[in-house]
Amino acid sequence: MRRGITTHLSLHSGPSDLLGSFLLRVPSALLQPFGQRLVYRSPKTFPPSFHTWMGWGLKLVGVWDSENVWEGLTALLSYCGSLNKPSELRSVEGVVDQRVGRLPVMGYNSKVDYHCCDINEGIILETAHLMKSLGLADIGYNYINIDGCYSEKNRSESGDIVADHVRFPSGMHNLTTQIHNLGLKTGIYSDSGWFTCQLYPGSFQNEERDAKLFQDWGFDLLKYDNCAIPFDEILKEGIVGKYKRMADAIADLTKTSGRAPFVFSLCEWGEEQPWLWARRYGQSWRTTGDIEPNWRSVMSILNQNSFITWASDFYGHNDLDILEVGNGDLTYDEAKSHFTAWALLKSPLLISTDLPTVTDETLEILSNRELIAINQDQVIGTSISPFRWGVNPDWTSNSTHPAQYWSGESENGTVIMLLNTLDEPADMFFNLTESPWIRAGRQYSVRDLWTHTDNGTAARNFTAHEVPPHGVVALLLQDAGDEPIGIYPPCARTWWCMSENGTKYYDE
């Protein structure tokens, strides 16, 4: 069972210490979504119902009459809310350099495509040229990232990581120069432990040396893994401390070199809830274990991320792992669903399929410009979130049937994702105002982001008919004015629907 991270904040002495002892045993993940509201809003502005509800809760722990309780509670919740907000809203040590990583990274990663140790400079250069010739670079895929197995098994006598002389005979600097000359960027891989996951040299206790080496080689991004964890008697900081060591090394290197830092991609697998802390150190953080090229794995990752969508925004993104589009047992509809979810949840989009043999079908999915535009939205940095689970009751964790009904904001309107997790076709119906981004009393134009067609307007509700098994519908809804006159009932939501003279409408 995943261990909850508790907060550590000193509240005022006296009766409110009891509140502190109670709240400090609550996982901060439970307090965080509410606390984030306090980043923008004082509890004094909350409605009376809020104070009544909290009053009963505080009375239960014996601090109802404490004059400092609200001050202490506000401090605690504000702290929880600021744990992982965008850096422009925080004033904490280790704020991420805003010259890089504002939007999710797009590009290619060699991990799955060449099974790590088959990689060589010829393959990397061929891939870079294909990213250009296939038009992928033109739509935003501009990183060429080398995963593990690129080095010799041992460091040099001077202590440096050494590129494999057989597979990278021209050296890493020559390779990155050629990639940069194509107008692309490039990334490298290391590990926060003694070794990488393939038992090549890791960067623990060599963080400054390796950061400088990677910069000298010409890399723009560092993916940082979580294998070969040092024994506790050697590393007292824990997992968070391992990543802070490299983040500090990158920050120091940035100061001394005057150059923009690496995009720092934390591959911690979600074990220590990095969505709560990783924004302090890098621009993306893996939220789960490794993806596999099958529907079960895709749905499991989506399920886990459905509860932490609030953590993604500009300069920091939940990383759902590389794209398996074009790989394994995924059907065409499953691959579309996979890509749609990753794009709209603002995950990094890293291709890892064999580009020399890529199919038109795979290219069609990877090249969906309308979905990519939302992933790379310059105005809205937040992810879509579920508004209804569908098969299961809301807030149910289920890796077979995760949330099916999702919505979010974009620069150009409200984004909707409908996901059919069933093994048979399904009609998918929702009331527009189930999404918090829809205004009652309005009608909306409907743009299908897969057929790339405008499909009239919707008022009050929408039904997607015959969504294929494991298929997806992605829509962009734009305000098209007042809803038609005479729609009945008079309110989009019938609960507590009331006229100005006090007449209620009840949905019978």
What residues are labeled active site?
A: 225, 290
Angle, alpha carbons 201-203-208 (nearest 5°): 135
DSSP labels, 287-344: -SS---SSHHHHHHHHHHHTT-GGG-BTTBEEE---B-TTSTT--HHHHHHHHHHHHH
d(CA 385, CA 395): 12
d(CA 91, CA 321): 29
d(CA 71, CA 269): 36
Over the Cα atoms of the chain, what is R_g? Answer: 25
Cis, bond preceding 490 (omega within 30 deg of 0): no
**Site of tokens 């925080």:** 90
H/E stretch holding 429 reads: strand 426-431
Angle, alpha carbons 162-166-172 (nearest 5°): 45
Angle, alpha carbons 435-439-444 (nearest 5°): 85
d(CA 213, CA 199): 19
Q: Which amino acid is at 129?
A: H
d(CA 273, CA 132): 36
